[in-house]
Copies of this chain bind each other. A is one copy, B any other.
Amino acid sequence: MALKIALLPGDGVGPEVLAQAVKCLEAVEETFNQHFIFKEAPVGAIAIDKKGTPLPDATLKLCKESDAVLFGAIGDPKYDNDPDAKVRPEQGLLQLRKELGLFANIRPVLSHPTLLDKSPLKKKVINGTDFVIYRELTGGIYFGEKKLNDDGTKASDLCEYTEDEISRIAHLAFKAAKGRKKKLTLIDKANVLESSRLWRKVVTKIGESYPEVALDFMFVDNAAMQIILNPKQFDVILTENMFGDIISDEGSVIGGSIGLLASASIGEENALFEPIHGSYPQAKGKNIANPIASILSAAMLLEHFGLTEEAWAVKKAVDKSLKKGVVTPDLKENSQYGTNQVGDFIAHNIVDIE
């Protein structure tokens, strides 16, 4: 299979960490006799500087013609600190998600044995945590009609969902659960919200086509407790846009380091893979940014295209770097390894797979 992969390095440490992910994909090509076609394009602040827009037409075109997008990071302080800025780097990613119809955001939450000390949660609570959140990404209250009355004393936002919007992501989540521990938890607030009751009805119906998957329901306020009381109880979490935003950010704390967290955003025809961390401009060019989240987003890309063995090899090599302490200084004070060295080590261990 010759996958066409658009590389969008973006801003800050984006280019550095993405380069390590590409190294790892090249190691996969070499080891597993795969072929990837990489093409690069600007996005974010660098695209504004070069082309006047955070998502140039040529970049969007490249993404649409590719099988997948591997994304670095986006954002630059010079735009954050300018309240008059008309275009912002972040718009590039939002627009790209919309143009590519990426309706499902997927975030794995894992506890790494070597990083248990870094979590604010106790070892015994998080050890063995392994779940994945499917968050609806293009509907709900973030995109519903907004109103402000004329004298500015009343404001509203509409949370709206259709059966189709729920259905397409529910199928993805059930399929994922089928290949995992066969449990799906729908997080909603069906005791209060009409839209949540529709979610529950549609997901229950779809669940009948996946009899091997156990479906349960949890109210979002209870879920906010359960995620930290007993994260091991979860396998696949499915939820609407805003609940997913809150719950997945809460879940990101469990692992103890944001530098390890990858995500995928999936549409009918395209998919985008990226670390959840930002562009971390203070670290730019210093060879200190943690490349693991970017490398793991490349692993998610491989998994998405059914390259299970290849994805496993990447994750295994990442585990080895953590176990051997070949990590950037954010994970180990005074570490002598930089972004590049960690990337080299992981890529090397994909090739030298045991």
Contacts and interface: CB of A to CB of B under 8 A. Distances in A.
Contacts of A253: 225, 228-229
B228 A195 contact: no
A162 B153 contact: yes
Interface string A189-200: 100111101100
A120 B198 CA distance: 34
Contact of A148 (B164, B198, B245): B198
B198 A155 contact: yes
A31 B122 CA distance: 43
Contacts of A120: 121-122, 125, 228-230
A250 B249 contact: no
- Identical copies in the complex: 2
A120, A144, A157, A164 — most chain B CB neighbours (10 Å): A157
Given A121-B228, A155-B194, 13 more contacts: A120-B230, A146-B193, A152-B201, A154-B161, A155-B195, A156-B161, A221-B246, A221-B248, A222-B249, A224-B224, A224-B246, A225-B249, A229-B253
A252 interface: yes
Contact of A154 (B153, B154, B156, B160): B160
A158 B156 contact: yes
Contacts of A193: 141-142, 146, 157
Contact of A194 (B157, B189, B248): B157
A194 B229 contact: no
21 contacts: A120-B230, A121-B122, A142-B192, A146-B193, A148-B197, A152-B163, A153-B162, A154-B162, A154-B198, A155-B161, A155-B195, A155-B197, A155-B198, A156-B158, A157-B158, A157-B193, A221-B245, A224-B247, A225-B252, A228-B250, A250-B250
Interface of A: 119-122, 125, 141-142, 144, 146-148, 152-164, 189, 192-195, 197-198, 201, 220-222, 224-225, 228-230, 242, 245-250, 252-253
Q: A-B pairs with the 4 shortest C-beta distances?
A: A155-B198, A146-B194, A224-B250, A156-B160
Contacts of A194: 146-148, 155-157
A248 B221 CA distance: 8
A180 to B, nearest CB: 24
Contacts of A157: 158-159, 193-195
Given A120-B121, A194-B147, A163 B156 contact: no
A213 B337 CA distance: 45
Contacts of A242: 189
A307 to B, nearest CB: 32
Contacts of A160: 154-156
A156, A195, A222 — most chain B CB neighbours (10 Å): A156
B141 A159 contact: yes
Contacts of A119: 122
Contacts of A224: 224, 246-247, 249-250
A205 to B, nearest CB: 11
A230 B119 CA distance: 11
A61 to B, nearest CB: 28
A252 B224 CA distance: 10
Nearest to A201: B152
